[in-house]
Amino acid sequence: MYNIAITAGGTSENIDGVRKLTNVSTGSLGWNCLESVLNYFLSKDEANFHIHYVLTPTAFRGQLNDIQKKHVSFIEVTDAESVYNAVNDLTKNINITHFIHSMAISDFTFSYAVSVDNLAEEIAAYVNNGGDVSKEKLQELLTLPHSRNEEGAKISSSKPLIIGLKTTKKVISLIKENNKNTVLVGFKLLRNVGEDTLMEVSKKLTEKNECDFVFANELSQISGNEHTGILIADGIIVARPKGKRQIADAIVANMINN
């Protein structure tokens, strides 16, 4: 049984009840990968497969026919924490044979908001009262100041504001931790770099997370329907597809025949 997991879209991190941190990922490449998997197996009259599609509310979602629907389950997520929990549950409870991790997950999530005035007063009072001004103590104060807004409260727009962010847990590291045999496809998008740097960074991603393939590209290679990049396996470029459909087909064909 082939169990293929695909993540798609961009996460959205709540700041307060009306504001969010998000990114511009459309999830269309993930959907192309889903269609490519369906086409690959159904064209071979292979019915022993299932796709577990993890997506955000803003991710592109196309139409499936009745036959295709039987092979797809949708798992809806919102922020980085929900993705982490969903992928952890999925990879622990199901023998995922292949995983395409194309989702753009935020590296940071909201920690606190504090007005500039309130934080300045808190720091001044701390120093004036003889507080320790070492780097470590100031880092502790700035990580979670006492003068921060109440959690979940709507942020006032009347005063200058400082927003604190904290790092999110890495989802990709879960996949091989929970199942060493999963064939994993990771993604790396960089800006203003050449192919040598793409190769170097992809190697680090591979070593850290045990990726079997990495699709790497540079931001200028993405414009509207234009999308190019390199598919890397074992430090070697195995494909240079152009266009999201060709990228998806190259990923799926190489992944399944790995």
β strands within the chain, DSSP E: 2-8, 13-14, 20-21, 49-55, 72-76, 98-101, 108-115, 161-167, 183-190, 213-218, 222-223, 226-227, 230-233, 236-239
Q: Domain locations in the chain?
A: 2-107+169-256, 109-167
Q: How confident is the model at residue 223 (pLDDT cuts 50, 70, 90)?
A: low
132 contact partners, CB below 8 Å, separation of at least 6:
none
Question: Under a CB-based contact definition with an 8 Å cutoff, are residues 127 and 177 in contact?
Answer: no
- Tens digits of residue pLDDT in 99-152: 999 999 999 999 999 999 999 999 999 989 988 889 998 899 899 999 998 887
**Between the CA atoms of 221, 101, 79 and 110, what dihedral angle is there, to the nearest 10 degrees?**
-60
DSSP state of 221: G
| pTM over cut 0.85 | yes
What is the C-alpha to C-alpha distance for residues 86 and 80, in angstroms, rounded to an integer?
Answer: 10
Q: What is the per-residue pLDDT for 91? A: 98
Question: Residue holding tokens 């919102």?
Answer: 78
Q: How confident is the model at residue 221 (pLDDT cuts 50, 70, 90)?
A: confident
Please compute the mean of the pLDDT values over residues 76-104 and round it to a whole number.
Answer: 97
Q: What is the per-residue pLDDT for 192? A: 87
Please state which architecture CATH assigns to domain 2-107+169-256. 3-Layer(aba) Sandwich (3.40)
Q: How confident is the model at residue 224 (pLDDT cuts 50, 70, 90)?
A: low
Question: Under a CB-based contact definition with an 8 Å cutoff, are residues 49 and 17 in contact?
Answer: no
Question: Under a CB-based contact definition with an 8 Å cutoff, are residues 173 and 83 in contact?
Answer: no
- Tens digits of residue pLDDT in 167-192: 999 999 999 999 999 999 999 988 88
- Tens digits of residue pLDDT in 43-64: 999 999 999 999 999 999 999 9
Question: Under a CB-based contact definition with an 8 Å cutoff, are residues 77 and 54 in contact?
Answer: yes
Q: What is the per-residue pLDDT for 211? A: 97
Distances, alpha carbon 247 to alpha carbons 58, 133, 193, in Å: 21, 53, 20
39 contact partners, CB below 8 Å, separation of at least 6:
none
Quote the mean pLDDT of the chain. Answer: 93
